[in-house]
Amino acid sequence: MTMNSLNEPTRAFTKLSLKWSMIEEPTLSILDKFLLLADLGFDGVELDAPNELPLGEVVAARDRSGLAIPGVINSMHWKAPLTDPDASVRQIGVEAIRTALDNAREYGASTVLVVPGVVNAQTSYSQAYALAQAELRKVLDHAETTGVSIAIENVWNDFLLSPLEAARFVDELGGARVGWYFDVGNVLRYGRPAHWTEALGKRILKVDIKEFSLTRMNAEGPWKGFEVELGEGDCDWATVNSALLTSGYSGWGSIEMPGGDRHRLKALKDGADRIAAL
């Protein structure tokens, strides 16, 4: 971690990771993918969980490559939302989080990223709020047992759209092992990342590095906003870095962008390095 003369962190992103699904090298083994990322200078990689990857191979690849697995992403929160009207669907989601927490402990990860739910025609905003909290409370004890924290992420799910509401949602859950996985690019559609950072403060456990262009969104549609490279959108990364440091955050930044082969991943690493230095 980079410190100044007063022994205070000077960088918000001291280590860089990316998502396992971004590695588009299908002929490589698990070990070779870990070694590739290590060779490119990454510090870690985040896996989806539950998954079908052999645990022994993943742990061996982690240890041999020297890469960390700082976090895992719940692989079932879209298929079995915690806010689904059907209680049996919600139960599947709860069990998936429990399994993801177990996997995270085995990998040495400190967080499980969880999308808390979805507001839609079947589930109103108030219903989603109550259901999400009720279901998340069922896994707080298991988070304590595993020593892994639940990190709730902001996504385009029409839910928890305000940073003050997001902070309140976390606080009302009341668990020591629950916080926020802050996705910088996702909030640009309806807010300013630095404002979210100010409101969430110490609740931020991890940060996703993602770019977004309001210009492209306005001209071509919302999803087109993501089709820009790091540093070429409307995220003021210098301000975000400063706001994160002010909030007390200094740690992992996980790239979440369209992936590719070695050359693409190297370009993403270089872009993230430039952003981290602003």
What CATH number corresponds to the domain at position 78? Answer: 3.20.20.150
In a domain, 151, yes or no: yes
In a domain, 108, yes or no: yes
* pLDDT per position as a tens digit, 16-65: 999 999 999 999 999 999 999 999 999 999 999 999 999 999 999 999 99
In a domain, 182, yes or no: yes
In a domain, 8, yes or no: no
List, run by run, the mean pLDDT of 10-residue segments along the chain (278 residues): 63 98 97 98 98 97 98 97 98 98 98 97 98 98 98 95 97 94 96 96 98 97 97 97 97 98 98 97
Q: What is the pTM of this model?
A: 0.95
* HEC secondary structure over the chain: CCECCCCCECCCEEEEEEEHHHECCCCCCHHHHHHHHHHHCCCECEEEECCCCCHHHHHHHHHHHCCECCEEEECCCCCCCCCCCCHHHHHHHHHHHHHHHHHHHHHCCCEEEECCCCCCCCCCHHHHHHHHHHHHHCCHHHHHHHCCEEEEECCCCCCCCCHHHHHHHHHHHCCCCEEEEEEHHHHCCCCCHHHHHHHHHHHEEEEEECCCCHHHHHHHCHHHHHCCCCCCCCCCHHHHHHHHHHHCCCEEEEECCCCECHHHHHHHHHHHHHHHCC
In a domain, 6, yes or no: no
In a domain, 276, yes or no: no
What confidence score (pLDDT) does residue 2 get? 63
In a domain, 66, yes or no: yes
In a domain, 111, yes or no: yes
What confidence score (pLDDT) does residue 4 get? 56
What is the count of structural domains for the chain?
1
Range of the domain at 229: 13-271
